[in-house]
Structure 1
Amino acid sequence: MTIEEFVDSRGRALLRFATALTCDPHLAEDIVQEVLLRAQRRWSRIVSVGSPDGYLRKMVVNEYLSLRRRKSFGDLPAGPEVLAGLSPAVEDPDYGEREEMLSRIRALPPKQRAVLALRYYSGLTDAEIAEVLGSRPGTVRSHASRALAALRVDEFAGTPGGAR
């Protein structure tokens, strides 16, 4: 399989994964483009590993985590404020809830967000996620637990993570 064939058959899925990971379609496009450029240089080695899908998914996660570590990344605009000037709001009763949840997901630490994307979007097991992230399955479970706790809303207190 050539890289062109891979992009034709699996490129959209890789971009969807990157979008789920970053919560930002433009950043996802940048990450996937960078990953594919780097992958092209060593494509024969990637194919010889046997799972170009998994290898490139790991490259996407690593690129995302690397971006999050860079200081300049925090200066990039993200979220509803970027979209506010583009078009008038559409009446959608669930819009507020979705935006609130996306805001909470964006606020998660990078590894916690990566664990959730790999677990719930890509359907990987804890062991597979640990392999992608270079950590132990117990660490993956810990990241998932903390991320889910941060996303939970206590209906009575109305606060993220429940009343404390």
Structure 2
Amino acid sequence: MDQHEEQEFAEYFAAKRDSVRRTAYMLCGDWHKADDLAQTAFVALHRRWRKIRDRSATDAYVRKTLVRASIDESRRPWRRERNVDVLPESVAAGTRFDERIVDREDLLAGLRQVPPKQRAVLVLRYFEGMDVGGVAKALGCSEGNVKSQTARGLAKLREVLGGSELAEQRETR
């Protein structure tokens, strides 16, 4: 890349790094992994910077790269294992979802338990504010797939937020 292109990339990076990092965090729930995902997305963008004709599509390219990197990372077998020092105790019977307040930590813990593709759809739809068509384009799938993934993801999130899985995690904090 020539000096002008490097300067353009540097300006784009400076303007977007925080929002890309936040989106990555919403996808994975861990700031260290979010940094890795954001770095992966920006490295991929840097490699193709010269080939990008439509600079207005750059955000979509970064978002798509970020989501794909998150899904790829979640497929690695060592990511599925979690070591804990103490086994969580069971939830007291009679605890109702509407009797407790769902805070940010609960939401992020719940999102971590939603499958990666459904989590990506939920983050893009509700945290990035994209419409169904935009999410479908970003993920390279049909609008019907986005709708079904959204419905399944919300159902799983409701189940986790109202079920014992989240309460068990809260006990181990």
Q: Normalising by the residue count of structure 2, what TM-score does the alignment of the two structures yield?
A: 0.72
The CA deviation string for residues 113-139 of structure 1, in whole angstroms up to 9 with x for no partner, is 000000011111111111111111111
1:62 and 2:68 equivalent?
yes
Once the two structures are superposed, the pairs formed by residues 10-25 of structure 1 within 5 Å of their partners are 10-25=16-31
**How far apart in 2 are the matches of 1:70 and 1:159?**
27
* Structure possessing the higher radius of gyration over alpha carbons: 2
**How far apart in 1 are the matches of 2:14 and 2:71?**
26
Equivalent position of 2:140 in the other structure = 134
SS of residue in 1 equivalent to 2:163: coil
Distance 1:49 1:70, change over 3 A: farther
Which amino acid in 2 is paired with 1:49?
A: D
**Where does structure 1 differ by over 6 angstroms across 4 or more consecutive aligned residues?**
none
Q: How many residue pairs align between the two structures?
A: 142
Shift of 1:14: 0.9
Equivalent position of 1:116 in the other structure = 122
SS of residue in 1 equivalent to 2:130: coil
**How far apart in 1 are the matches of 2:144 and 2:138?**
14
Cα RMSD over matched residues?
A: 2.7
**How far apart in 2 are the matches of 1:62 and 1:105?**
17
Equivalent position of 1:85 in the other structure = none
Identical residues among aligned pairs (%):
34
Distance 1:154 1:128, change over 3 A: closer
Equivalent position of 1:49 in the other structure = 54
The CA deviation string for residues 56-89 of structure 1, in whole angstroms up to 9 with x for no partner, is 11100011111111212224679xxxxxxxxxxx
**How far apart in 1 are the matches of 2:113 and 2:77?**
16
Unaligned runs of 5+ in 2: 85-99, 165-173
The CA deviation string for residues 26-82 of structure 1, in whole angstroms up to 9 with x for no partner, is 101011112212221211123x1332111111100011111111212224679xxxx
Once the two structures are superposed, the pairs formed by residues 68-147 of structure 1 within 5 Å of their partners are 68-75=74-81, 97-147=103-153
Equivalent position of 1:27 in the other structure = 33
Distance 1:76 1:42, change over 3 A: farther
**How far apart in 2 are the matches of 1:127 and 1:68?**
25
Q: Which has the higher contact order (CA 8 A, sep 6+)?
A: 2
Q: Normalising by the residue count of structure 1, what TM-score does the alignment of the two structures yield?
A: 0.75
Equivalent position of 1:40 in the other structure = 46
